[in-house]
Amino acid sequence: MHHTTIYRRPGMYAGWPANYGMWAWGDEIALGFILGHVKPDVQFHARDKDQPFVTMQARSLDGGQSWSVAPFPGKTPGGKGLSADEHMNPHLWILNDLDGPEGPQPCPGDVDFTHPDFAIMCARTGLRAGSRSWFYLSTDRARSWAGPYTLPMFGQPGISARTDYFVDGPAALTLFLTAVKPNGDEGRVFCARTTDSGQSFHFVSWITPEPPGYNIMPASLRLPSGRILTALRCSESRTTESRRCWIDLYASDDNGASWQPLSTPVADAGRGGNPPALLRLQDGRLCLIYGFRDAPFAMHARLSEDDGASWSSPITLRQGAGNHDLGYPRAIQRPDGTVVTAYYFNDHPDEERYIAATLWRP
The whole-angstrom separation of Cα 299 and Cα 329 is 9
The answer on pLDDT for 243 being more than 80 is no
Q: Give the tens place of pLDDT for each residue, 53-90.
A: 999 999 999 999 999 999 999 999 999 999 999 999 99
> Phi/psi of residue 95, each to 5°?
-55, -35
The whole-angstrom separation of Cα 167 and Cα 139 is 14
The dihedral over CA atoms of 2, 327, 139, 113, expressed in degrees to the nearest 10, equals 120
What CATH number should be reported for the domain holding residue 315?
2.120.10.10
pLDDT at 238: 66
- When pLDDT is averaged across residues 334-357 and rounded to a whole number, the result is 98
Q: Which domain holds residue 48?
A: 2-360
Counting the structural domains of the chain, the total is: 1
Contacts of 254 (CB under 8 A, 6+ apart): none
The whole-angstrom separation of Cα 221 and Cα 208 is 17
How many C-beta atoms surround the C-beta of residue 101 within 10 A? 8
Alpha-carbon dihedral sign for residues 173, 152, 31, 296: negative
What residue type is 204 in one-letter code? V
What residue type is 178 in one-letter code? T
Single pTM value for the model: 0.96
Q: Give the tens place of pLDDT for each residue, 126-139.
A: 999 999 999 999 99
